[in-house]
Amino acid sequence: MMVSGKRLADIGYRTFSASMMLLTAYGGYLCALRGYRFVQKQKALKLAAENQDPEVIND
């Protein structure tokens, strides 16, 4: 079975497109995860600051 150049190029293009879509989706997932962790950390820091004793803060 002989695969024509056009067919091979089409398969290559589709494979490339699919891999780029997956990379984009994965990148978006990592960004969202990072943003979520950042927000959680900020909340924890704010909570810790609010729960500090005034004597400790004034030190």
Nearest CA-CA partner of 23 in 4, 15, 38, 52: 15
pLDDT of residue 3: 77
pLDDT digits (tens, 9 = 90+) for 12-56: 999 999 999 999 999 999 999 999 999 999 999 999 888 886 665
- Could you identify the residue written with the tokens 């978006």? 28
- Please name the residues in contact with 57: beta carbons below 8 A apart, sequence gap of 6 or more: 49
pLDDT of residue 35: 97
pLDDT of residue 52: 80
pLDDT of residue 29: 98
Q: Enter the pTM of the model.
A: 0.61
pLDDT for 9 beyond 60: yes
